[in-house]
Structure 1
């Protein structure tokens, strides 16, 4: 009989300016949280409350560090299998530091530990096919290395950003340029909505949606992105 597998290695993100780590539990993502992006995907942003999907927590990693045990060098992201249409989606990432369920929006920011800048990589062709067949599209979002991220910064150091640029470029060409103030649902509203369905716990991350301009990337492309006052990241698709 095969031996029981070993205890999984904990997954964490670095904390900017510190040797401490933020250990991950669950990763949630908000769909269509910028009106211009909702429209470019063929949806009506005025008729839709926030909805959520998830990524495996070990799909998230700091690109500046890479994941040596899995063969990824710093600042590299492997092009995933089973797709010919890999897309980028630049996002503000919220790190939860306090347990809560059915949280009131007025209290929600008190549950935030800090923030980061992350990219929700998406197998767009896989997603489109799943949507057309009315099937779940988990594998379009939840594949290996699908959540490259910057180091996290504590809210006590930067406050709670509600406005400021969010941007992404590919090979030096601007592809996404928006503002956090353009979010349909602000961070506190996102937390309140999500906490009605699940109990949020320390270590949870929430990717809060992407502005317009999403598009395809190929092997060899150098991607740079960030959120003003929060963080930046750069990586090459290999």
Structure 2
């Protein structure tokens, strides 16, 4: 890493301090990672982040024109360097896209878009893969040893920030769910003159009958004062 530029080191230092943006806002963190990736790794011209959600590859944030187009191809085909990196927890490097044969449809479109090399790195948090960070370059053989080392370091810092943001997001959603369920229970308690437990049992029964989540029914009841019967 001796050849790293001062601007690259500066971006990494800034990332380590400031990626926990907006009190851990998940989308803001994703966008900050994608935006800073091409600054921290000067060889990259574009970047994209994909997360694993319910065993599916889900694009979340991009910087540049090529990533969303190539992400769509991977979603359609169910394969590609970003998916393989996430699934196998391995770094995937494409030094010369025009000679890449593992994903022919992907590589052809990438060349058409001016992407001639690529580096995909798994994002690991709490010893599990949460997704991948993909870097795109307009030059072949763009990711030499120094660039790859910097990308690995950036990815490790990004994964820490992203893991924190995901935990905060889950906690925020859990608290919001608890609040809205409490509101719904209060409505039922007042309306039917029943206890808190009885009100919750009513929500559970409606959830099973309508095949809907309790929290969704609670939101509807809190917002409209009524529950749909279908």
TM-score class, shorter: under 0.3
Higher helix share: 2
Q: Please tell me whether Structure 1 or Structure 2 has the larger radius of gyration of its CA atoms.
A: 2
Higher strand share: 1
